[in-house]
Chains A and B, each alone.
Chain A
Amino acid sequence: MPVVAEREHRAFQDLARAPLPRLYGLARRLAGRDAEDLVQETLVRAFKSYEDLKSPQAAGAWFSTIMVNCARDRLRKEGRSVREVSLEELDEFSLYRHIAEEDPFPYSDTLHADFLGLFDAEDVTSVLETLPAHYRAPMVLRYVEGLPTKRIARMLELPLGTVLAQLHRGRKLFERALWDYAERTRLLEKGDGG
């Protein structure tokens, strides 16, 4: 490798090393078990467009944007086989009501908070992983990364209305998935002192 290229390569390596945990965390939320693949793809793509990076201070956001682009391209490839979820199935579900009706902790005065208190970060990542990828991506970008919906629409190259609809369904799916996960993994029993 020529000296200049070698120096650039070293600079890129130094730049990419620090945000690796953050990138891996985002990849876990966006791609679940394929997280490591997604980080690899992001690093390769970032290196190819390294000269586009305006300043090292912007590296964190730059890597994250490239990762979202990679995730978006993966979604497009999978797009044809995506199973649409019927909104009718979901619309009636309210986790708030469901917790109150099922009353998993009869002696609790803070039923809903106690239910959410059952979940740690790993549990929430597992619940997000159960969502179809095209609902998961907007959910993660909006409610974990805190990005505005218009920006998400631009990043995913989707009409705003599509993103809003995906968020609506994604929220319902997430609520139902939280309850299903708590039942399946017996979190509810732990919370009940069992």
Chain B
Amino acid sequence: MITCADAVKELWEYLDRELPENERARVEEHLNFCRTCCGELEFAEELQRFMRSRQSDEIPDDVRRRLEGILSELKEP
């Protein structure tokens, strides 16, 4: 049996499927009865989605101009 503190430490590894089978089973056993840790797990999943979704690949015009300048100045490999 593991404590909430131990379970919370392992939730991201649990989501990432990085835990060995025995540790994964212990986390699952804990999640079966602990509502707080289930909340932590849902939030960890939400945070992972959040990190993927809050990204922008915009490039400012001045940066693009400078980088294209670098491209045209490159000497033969």
Write out, one digit per residue, whether chain A residues 6-23 have a CB within 8 A of any chain B CB (1) or not (0): 001100110011001110
Q: Which residue of A49, A50, A112, A144 contacts B55 across the interface (Cβ within 8 Å)?
A: A144
Cα(A16)–Cα(B67), bound, Å: 10
Task: Say yes or no: A24-B57 contact (C-beta < 8 A), given A40-B67, A96-B43.
Answer: yes
Q: Are A9 and B39 in contact (CB under 8 A)?
A: no
Chain A residues at the B interface, C-beta cutoff of 8 Å: 1-2, 5, 8-9, 12-13, 16-17, 20-22, 24-26, 29, 36, 39-40, 43-44, 47-51, 91, 94-97, 112-113, 116, 119-125, 139, 142-144, 146, 149, 164, 167-168, 171, 175
Cβ-based interface call for B70 (8 A): yes
Q: Which residue of A25, A29, A113, A142 contacts B58 across the interface (Cβ within 8 Å)?
A: A25
Q: Which residue of A16, A96, A121, A139 contacts B39 across the interface (Cβ within 8 Å)?
A: A96
Nearest chain A CB to B41's CB is how many angstroms away? 9
Q: Are A143 and B52 in contact (CB under 8 A)?
A: yes
Q: Which residue of A2, A26, A116, A167 contacts B50 across the interface (Cβ within 8 Å)?
A: A116
Say whether chain A's binding surface is mostly helix, strand, loop, or mixed.
helix
Task: Say yes or no: A123-B77 contact (C-beta < 8 A), given A43-B70, A96-B39.
Answer: no
Cα(A22)–Cα(B59), bound, Å: 8
Q: Are A13 and B46 in contact (CB under 8 A)?
A: no
